Amino acid sequence: MPLIKKDFFGLKDLSADDIRYILGTAETMKYILSQKNKTSPHLRGKSVIILFYETSARAKLSYELAARHLSASVVDMTSTIQNKEFDSLVDMGQLVDQMGADFIILRHPIAGAPQLLARTVGASVINAGDGFNENPGQSLLDLMTIREQKGGFEGLRVAIVGDLIHSRVSKSNIWALTKLGAEVCVSGPATLISPEIEKLGVNVYYDAREAVNNADVILTTRMHKYSQNTVVLPSLDEYKRFFRIDEALLRYAKKDAIVMHPGPIRRGIEISSGVINGPQCIVNDQIANSVAVRMAIYYILTQIGGAFQ
């Protein structure tokens, strides 16, 4: 498939066919990971630089393992960033670029940082999360897990519940799921839902029971630290009362509905312990798909002409 791009910024500008192609490639990578010898030579001789300006042990580990399984060399520059040895992202990017880096994995608190970096370097820049914009890697592993569990997306009713205004993975999921034919419903406190979100093609409910009603999939969000400001959210107790995914709320969904979360979960606040420990919560399946998805992104970017752009 002619996905022609040097960099991978997000899912907003990809077509449904593009997304299906990535998921199909990830399935191939998952097969490789199921073998006794998990190493593939696709990135032999390539170098991957990890630049995480925000902490995320899970995401960083999955990108690193994915690169190593594809035989790339990996250098984690996070400690250098923390020591503030370089004044700007561009300075850091140019340093690793001049040293011959092939990939830069960037997680940054400012939306648009990957695009800024990509304009100044020859390496392929992969967005591992930028501000409140997108987190395409997490979204793709969510999509892969949904497809494995439900067989596809057409006609699915997907409820996204929680902090929608700060959740970048929710934005990536909305753009992808609506393109793939799912009906997307969102719910959360009014102060945590953008008034512009309906323009993305979703149905907005301020009663979580209406959003979850007859849902095939329930995606919950992380409660961002800013959301706990008393001006934005009166109290966590009020949030739990109306928007926590618990056994009572889950009864409104389909009997075979699945519950997902990007992790780490704030147990008892975003999801009740009973649901987390129950059969419908498939967070472990999401984690199992994280490395395969990142391997797929690397692989596609190394093909002739690149990908995604």
pLDDT tens profile 154-170: 999 999 999 999 999 99
Q: 26 and 130: one domain?
A: yes
CATH code: domain of residue 196: 3.40.50.1370
Residue 132 contacts residue 165 (beta carbons within 8 Å): yes
Q: 58 and 149: one domain?
A: no
Q: Give the amino acid at 301.
A: L
Q: 162 and 42: one domain?
A: no
Give 285: exposed, middle or buried? Use CB within 10 Å, 0-12, 13-18, 19+: middle
Q: 168 and 56: one domain?
A: no
Give 139: exposed, middle or buried? Use CB within 10 Å, 0-12, 13-18, 19+: buried
Q: 280 and 293: one domain?
A: no
> Does the pLDDT value for residue 174 go beyond 90?
yes
Which parts of the chain are beta strand (E)? 47-52, 73-76, 103-108, 124-130, 157-161, 183-187, 203-205, 217-220, 258-260
Q: 142 and 213: one domain?
A: yes
- Report the number of distinct structural domains present in the chain: 2
- SS3 at position 128: strand
Structural domain includes residue 30: yes
> Does the pLDDT value for residue 307 go beyond 50?
no
Q: Indicate if the alpha-carbon torsion angle 299, 300, 305, 306 is positive or negative.
A: negative
pLDDT tens profile 121-140: 999 999 999 999 999 999 99
Q: Which domain holds residue 106?
A: 16-134+289-301
Structural domain includes residue 9: no
Reference 123, options 259, 301, 299, 275; nearest CA is: 301
**pTM of the entire structure?**
0.93
Contacts 24+ apart (CB under 8 A), 13-18: 14/176, 14/179, 14/308, 15/179, 16/179, 16/180, 16/181, 18/308
Q: Give the amino acid at 55.
A: T
Residue 186 contacts residue 217 (beta carbons within 8 Å): no
Contacts of 190 (CB under 8 A, 6+ apart): 206
Structure confidence at residue 51 as a pLDDT band (50, 70, 90): very high
Q: 296 and 214: one domain?
A: no
Q: 245 and 153: one domain?
A: yes
pLDDT tens profile 259-272: 999 988 989 999 99
> Does the pLDDT value for residue 306 go beyond 50?
no
Structure confidence at residue 305 as a pLDDT band (50, 70, 90): very low
Peptide bond before residue 264 is cis, with ω within 30 degrees of 0: yes
Q: 114 and 191: one domain?
A: no
Q: Give the Cα separation of 112 and 129 in Å (integer).
A: 10
Torsion angle in degrees (nearest 10) through CA of 32, 35, 36, 40? -20
Q: Which two tokens stand for residue 103?
A: 């990939």
Q: Give the Cα separation of 153 and 183 in Å (integer).
A: 9
Which of the 8 DSSP states describes residue 267?
A: B
Give me the mean pLDDT over the 288-308 stretch: 83
Residue 267 contacts residue 217 (beta carbons within 8 Å): no
Q: 258 and 294: one domain?
A: no
Pairing of strands 157-161, 124-130: unpaired
Q: 129 and 182: one domain?
A: no
Residue 206 contacts residue 184 (beta carbons within 8 Å): no
Give me the mean pLDDT over the 298-307 stretch: 73
Q: 176 and 189: one domain?
A: yes
On average, the pLDDT of the chain sits at 91
